[in-house]
Amino acid sequence: MRIVQITAGAGGRLCGSCLHDNALVKALRVRGRDALLVSAYVPTTTDEQNVSEKKIVMGGVNVWLQEHLPLFRRTPAAFDQLLDSRWLLQWLSSQTGSMRPSDLGALTVSTLKAKEGHQRKEVEKLARWLARDVQPDIVHLSNALLVGLAKDVREATNAKIVCSLSGEDIFIEQIQPPHYRAVRKLLRERSADVDCFVAMNQAFATFMADYLALPPAAIAVIPHGVDATGFPTTSPDLLARRQARGGRLVVGYLARACPEKGLEDLVRSLPALAVRYDLEVLAAGATVAAERDYVAGCLATAADLGVADRFQWLGQVDRAAKLRLLESIDLFVMPTVHPEAKGIPAIEAMTAGVPVVAPSHGAFPELLDHQQAGLLYRPGDPSDLVRAIDSVLGDVALAARLGHHGYALARSRYSAEQMAAHHDALYSRMLATGEGDSRDIALGEHHGQ
């Protein structure tokens, strides 16, 4: 079985989809599978060993030029190849951080149209390369915004097409008229060309079945899995961790600095918590140009509230720094405003044996095993966020119980080995039966049935 994972790169910025796809392909290889990770648009970035191929498909420069300048829809292959050079695409991605989804409506419509859009040349080039040089049995797309490729890739390769669902609605819902309606329509039409979708939790599977007008049987549920290498080999003693600091408490945050991740809500909770605890927040995550004002606003809010000395923004960190952060905190908080589709940082915190506080929407009720690995609070309710944080910080026994449960759960349900095994079973069944309905594999194993 040859598997090709096509992931939409994020250039120099860490993103959940890049982390997930890289971890999946790496774990599939450990299982002995012939799996390739191929970046689309720009190179991928990960804080683990990057296993992606050097080749970039649907190169971002060519895609953009072919959208906006008709001349580039007819340029020769040798010229296009120059524009697909890795260094150029890496540079491009560092210069486009100010672009927002609202700027990309026309381009999104065109790419969903595939050969019927302005990027016909790129689609044909991808399909030809896959058919001639790769000959995959499974082509796995990293998100639904790539479903325009499904029909042409399947016709060229006869491969089964799988597509992950990974929070695309956040991007789509920011697209402006008249392109928004066209994007929604094309997504529903082109989703019919996919053999099976994969969501990382049941909540997002249910949401996207309605969003894409899919039957529930078309979506398998396979959680993200973390490679525990470098994480604690035993569940940490959280009381000893507190005592080593002389009682000072540390809350961690690890996610993009953007409004939908809710960092400002965590900052605003600090004054009420600082009355009771000697407390600080260590926050880290990727930032692009379009989000720098948000980070500056969070820092300004901390200063206005008199808690600037209790809030540190570390920016994007590498794997070693991430592990140090997780091993230095008493509680992990992920205060997302928008329902979370993946929740990878929360899984990493659980893998480190740290209790989690998160809103009771999206992935979190399932990830936290109905509050056995962390506490939930009412989304958008600052006072309830304070209540949940206070409950964990004020009860060492509760914190230890939550942390121990999350540590065990991460290894039994959210490991890279489990993620790869479930995908392997899904791919094998699809090839053996030709069917895309694999809920009994993915859901059954996920829930321990």
Tell whether 65 is covered by a domain.
yes
Coil vs helix vs strand at 312 = strand
Peptide bond into 178 cis (omega under 30): yes
Q: Which pLDDT score is estimated for 437? A: 46
Q: Are residues 206 and 298 in the same domain?
A: no
Q: Are residues 177 and 281 in the same domain?
A: no
Q: Are residues 26 and 117 in the same domain?
A: yes
Tell whether 233 is covered by a domain.
no
Lowest-confidence pick of 59-68, 241-250, 285-294: 285-294
Tell whether 290 is covered by a domain.
yes
Q: Are residues 196 and 245 in the same domain?
A: no
Tell whether 103 is covered by a domain.
yes
Domain that holds residue 305: 238-412
Q: Are residues 337 and 422 in the same domain?
A: no
Q: Are residues 40 and 163 in the same domain?
A: yes
The Cα 72–Cα 80 span in angstroms is 9
Average pLDDT score over the chain:
91
Q: Are residues 334 and 312 in the same domain?
A: yes
User: Residue 304's CB: how many other CB atoms inside 10 A?
Assistant: 10
Q: Are 5 and 51 in contact (CB under 8 A)?
A: no
The tens digit of pLDDT for each residue in 83-129 reads 888 777 776 666 555 567 778 889 999 999 999 999 999 999 999 99
Q: Which pLDDT score is estimated for 341? A: 95
Q: Are residues 18 and 65 in the same domain?
A: yes
Q: Are residues 345 and 428 in the same domain?
A: no
The Cα 442–Cα 60 span in angstroms is 34
The Cα 442–Cα 252 span in angstroms is 31
Asked whether the predicted pLDDT for residue 242 surpasses 90, the reply is: yes
Tell whether 231 is covered by a domain.
no
pTM to 2 decimals? 0.92
First to last CA, the chain: 27
Asked whether the predicted pLDDT for residue 267 surpasses 70, the reply is: yes
DSSP code per residue over 83-148: HT-HHHHHHHHHH-TT--GGG-HHHHHHHHHGGGSTTHHHHHHHHHHIIIII--SEEEESSGGGGG
Asked whether the predicted pLDDT for residue 442 surpasses 60, the reply is: no
Q: Which pLDDT score is estimated for 62? A: 87
Q: Which pLDDT score is estimated for 287? A: 77
Asked whether the predicted pLDDT for residue 429 surpasses 60, the reply is: yes
Question: Taking Cα atoms as reference points, which of 63, 175, 41, 158 lies closest to residue 117?
Answer: 63
Q: What is the CATH number of the domain that holds 57?
A: 3.40.50.2000
The tens digit of pLDDT for each residue in 323-358 reads 999 999 999 999 999 999 999 999 999 999 999 999
Residue position matching structure tokens 């498909």:
57
Tell whether 212 is covered by a domain.
yes
Q: Are 374 and 357 in contact (CB under 8 A)?
A: yes
Q: Are residues 317 and 378 in the same domain?
A: yes
Tell whether 232 is covered by a domain.
no
Question: Taking Cα atoms as reference points, which of 445, 448, 424, 443 lies closest to residue 162?
Answer: 424
Tell whether 92 is covered by a domain.
yes
Q: Are residues 327 and 394 in the same domain?
A: yes
The tens digit of pLDDT for each residue in 362-409 reads 999 999 999 999 999 999 899 999 999 999 999 999 999 999 999 999
Confidence of residue 175 (pLDDT cuts 50, 70, 90): very high
Q: Which pLDDT score is estimated for 96? A: 55
Number of domains in the chain: 2
Q: Which pLDDT score is estimated for 440? A: 46
Q: Are residues 441 and 406 in the same domain?
A: no
Asked whether the predicted pLDDT for residue 449 surpasses 70, the reply is: no
The tens digit of pLDDT for each residue in 351-364 reads 999 999 999 999 99
